[in-house]
């Protein structure tokens, strides 16, 4: 049989890890793709999380373990993504992360990467999902 006729599916892992992005989960957990972690620099295991109120940018920079206010980049199961617990930062700055949202990772300079968090009005303008239909009991 001629195997050149097959089109092989390579899965979503190869697609999602090729993009530098940061996802904010509900409550402020940050999920960095492998490419976003690479943007921080080689061997980075801890980060500091900053916020610029004027531009609403969230920034992360590599930090030495033991640095005041640093967070460990935790592995997410067997995934190549890394987690940062940003709940305190989001709470301190009254940033609402009601549902998960992904943002392209940007370089802000001086070893800082991050993303710009939308204005509350922009978050409210997102189209709502259709409500799930109620199930009725079968008789």
Query: Model-level pTM?
Result: 0.73
Choice between 126 and 33, residue whose per-residue pLDDT is larger: 33
Give yes or no for residue 126 having a pLDDT over 70.
no
Give yes or no for residue 55 having a pLDDT over 70.
yes
**CA nearest neighbour of 90 among 26, 21, 22, 23:** 26
Contact between residue 80 and residue 17 where contact means Cβ atoms under 8 Å apart: yes
pLDDT category, 121, cuts 50, 70, 90? Answer: low
Contact between residue 62 and residue 111 where contact means Cβ atoms under 8 Å apart: yes
Cβ-based neighbour number of residue 71 at 10 Å: 19
Give yes or no for residue 81 having a pLDDT over 80.
yes
Segment 36-53, tens digit of pLDDT: 999 999 999 999 999 999
With 0-12 / 13-18 / 19 or more C-beta atoms within 10 angstroms meaning exposed / middle / buried, residue 133 is exposed
pLDDT at residue 77, rounded to an integer: 84
Range 108-131 average pLDDT: 72
Give the whole-angstrom CA distance, residue 50 versus residue 61. 8
């Amino acid at each position: 049989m001629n195997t050149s006729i097959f089109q092989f599916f390579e899965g979503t892992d190869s697609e999602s890890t090729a993009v530098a992005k940061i996802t904010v989960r509900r409550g402020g957990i940050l999920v960095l793709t492998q490419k976003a972690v690479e943007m921080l620099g080689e061997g980075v295991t801890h980060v500091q999380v900053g916020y610029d109120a004027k531009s609403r940018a969230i920034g992360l920079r590599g930090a030495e373990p033991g640095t005041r206010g640093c967070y460990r980049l935790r592995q997410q199961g067997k995934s190549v993504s890394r987690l940062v617990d940003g709940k305190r930062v989001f709470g301190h700055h009254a940033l609402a992360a009601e549902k998960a949202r992904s943002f392209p990772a940007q370089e802000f300079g001086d070893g800082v990467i991050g993303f710009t968090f939308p204005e509350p009005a922009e978050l409210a303008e997102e189209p709502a999902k259709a409500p799930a239909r109620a199930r009725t009991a079968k008789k």
